[in-house]
């Protein structure tokens, strides 16, 4: 097993100490294995010790006890240059450099390989351009970093980590600051990199929904410093995933694989109609305004969805009366009175 693992920890305790004593133990007795070509998402609530773990695993901070083995060697035994050739990082802090092009920044990833003046050889050049291309940022090469959007900048930083030709890439919250499509794009790029180049990737994130969908393995730290590892789907099925994150009033929906937003219950409803996008979103809309499906019992509201060619129509009947609506805004307005859109009437 150990020849396939790029990063192994046994009996690792992480935390902080001063000269004399241990000040704070963040997590104890961690046994972690990260395989080659695998993508691992490290998730956990704020303050659970994700950053401490990442700092320890990358050798920035010494462990309180136990060992971190990188390619079966203790990480503290690596020279800075050897470590740089095995492990590269993408930090969460934004790079503030002006007058540097994307090419310049990615070329800095060749730092451990170039001569004293940092001169790029033909081969270095090629690696830099390949790195840019594999994150889909080839056309950004000549653009200045301070003129880029957050999403573009993140791609360049990933390309830089890639150009360092490591075996393991560690990314600290690479999807923070990004909007949802760019979060997904970043994850897609990282997955592709892991698949194509056989590099291992460890990333911390707060985007649980994305982590479930993308990771080969999840490492979950709960607020007590306990670590749970496993395949995302297994963790969802066993309910471990939900219980690690649920807080007062917020529940994990194991069917949809996401956290549901709690609403005050207004009543029950029944919905009839053909299976379609419209039907699914009618369900969501009803749930959003506080109606839950009436299973067996009499429904407070009955909605019938019918397709008039391509045009959906909603018929409803409830205590307020009955009628037909052309869109969900109207329907919500009719059912809930003031809480929907009043201007429908």
Is 46 a binding residue for another protein by CB under 8 A? The answer is no
Could you tell me where the DSSP H helices lie in the chain?
Answer: 50-57, 80-86, 102-108, 122-134, 150-163, 180-197, 208-214, 232-237, 240-245, 277-288, 328-336
The DSSP code for 151 is: H
Element (H, E) at 313: strand 311-318
Q: Which is nearer to another protein, 12 or 156 (CB)?
A: 156
Among 50, 83, 153, 199, binds another protein (CB under 8 A): 83
Q: Which is nearer to another protein, 142 or 309 (CB)?
A: 142
133-192 residues in contact with another protein (CB under 8 A) are: 141-142, 146, 164
Is 88 a binding residue for another protein by CB under 8 A? The answer is yes
311 burial type by CB count under 10 A (0-12 exposed, 13-18 middle, 19+ buried)? exposed
Element (H, E) at 22: strand 22-35
CA-based torsion, 80, 101, 95, 171: positive or negative: negative
Q: How far apart are CA 106 and CA 156, in angstroms?
A: 7
Q: Which is nearer to another protein, 34 or 157 (CB)?
A: 157
Q: Which is nearer to another protein, 115 or 319 (CB)?
A: 115
Q: How far apart are CA 21 and CA 112, in angstroms?
A: 36
Q: How far apart are CA 328 and CA 280, in angstroms?
A: 12
CA-based torsion, 16, 22, 24, 27: positive or negative: positive
Q: How far apart are CA 225 and CA 30, in angstroms?
A: 10
What is the pattern of x (binds another protein, CB under 8 A) and - over residues 104-123?
xx-xxx-xx-x-xxx-x---
Is 91 a binding residue for another protein by CB under 8 A? The answer is yes
Q: Which stretch binds another protein (CB under 8 A): 85-93, 187-195, 221-229, 303-311?
A: 85-93
Q: How far is the CB of 110 from another protein (least distance, A)?
A: 9
SS3 85: helix
CA-based torsion, 150, 152, 155, 156: positive or negative: negative
Q: Which is nearer to another protein, 104 or 222 (CB)?
A: 104
* Cα end-to-end span (Å), the chain: 68
Q: How far is the CB of 129 from another protein (least distance, A)?
A: 7
Q: Which is nearer to another protein, 125 or 238 (CB)?
A: 125
SS3 73: strand
Q: Which is nearer to another protein, 70 or 105 (CB)?
A: 105
Instruction: Report how many residues bind another protein under the rule CB under 8 A.
Output: 43
Q: How far is the CB of 45 from another protein (least distance, A)?
A: 24
Is 96 a binding residue for another protein by CB under 8 A? The answer is yes
The two tokens of residue 197 are 């180049």
Is 234 a binding residue for another protein by CB under 8 A? The answer is no
Q: Which stretch binds another protein (CB under 8 A): 16-24, 90-98, 285-293, 323-331?
A: 90-98
Is 338 a binding residue for another protein by CB under 8 A? The answer is no
What is the pattern of x (binds another protein, CB under 8 A) and - over residues 48-77?
----------x-x-----------------
Is 294 a binding residue for another protein by CB under 8 A? The answer is no
How big is the CA angle at 173 (ends 169 and 178), to the nearest 5 degrees? 120
Q: Which is nearer to another protein, 125 or 231 (CB)?
A: 125
Is 201 a binding residue for another protein by CB under 8 A? The answer is no
Q: Which is nearer to another protein, 35 or 120 (CB)?
A: 120
Residues that bind another protein (CB under 8 A): 58, 60, 79-85, 87-89, 91, 93, 95-105, 107-109, 111-112, 114, 116-118, 120, 124-125, 129, 132, 141-142, 146, 164
């Amino acid at each position: 097993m150990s020849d396939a693992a790029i990063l192994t920890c046994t009996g690792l305790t992480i935390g902080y100490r001063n000269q004399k004593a241990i000040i704070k133990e963040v997590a104890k007795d961690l046994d972690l294995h990260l395989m080659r070509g695998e993508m691992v998402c490290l998730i956990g609530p704020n303050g659970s010790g994700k950053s401490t773990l990442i700092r320890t695993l990358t050798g920035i901070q010494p462990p309180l006890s136990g060992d971190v083995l990188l390619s079966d060697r203790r990480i503290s035994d690596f020279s800075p240059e050897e470590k740089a050739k095995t492990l590269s990082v993408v930090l969460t802090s934004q790079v503030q450099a002006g007058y540097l092009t994307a090419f310049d920044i990615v070329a800095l990833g060749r730092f451990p390989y170039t001569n004293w003046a940092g001169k790029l050889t033909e081969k270095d050049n090629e690696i830099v351009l390949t790195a840019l291309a594999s994150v889909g940022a080839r056309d950004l090469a000549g653009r200045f970093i301070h003129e880029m959007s957050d999403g573009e900048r993140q791609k360049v930083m990933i390309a830089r980590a890639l150009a360092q030709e490591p075996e393991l890439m560690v990314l600290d919250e690479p999807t923070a600051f990004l909007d949802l499509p760019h979060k997904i794009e970043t994850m897609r790029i990282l997955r592709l990199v892991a698949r194509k180049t056989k590099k291992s990737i460890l990333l911390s994130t707060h985007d649980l929904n994305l982590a479930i969908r993308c990771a080969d393995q999840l490492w979950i730290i709960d607020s007590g410093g306990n670590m749970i590892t496993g395949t995302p789907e297994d963790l969802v099925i066993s309910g471990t995933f939900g219980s690690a994150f649920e807080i007062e009033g917020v529940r994990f929906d194991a069917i949809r694989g996401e956290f549901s937003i709690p609403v005050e219950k207004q009543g029950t409803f029944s919905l009839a109609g053909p299976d379609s996008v419209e039907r699914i979103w009618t369900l969501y809309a009803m749930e959003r305004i506080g109606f839950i499906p009436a299973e067996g019992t009499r429904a407070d509201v009955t909605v019938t969805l019918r397709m008039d060619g391509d045009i959906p129509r909603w018929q409803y009947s409830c205590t307020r009366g009955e009628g037909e609506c052309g869109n969900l805004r109207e329907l919500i307005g009719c059912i809930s009175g003031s809480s929907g859109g009043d201007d429908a009437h």
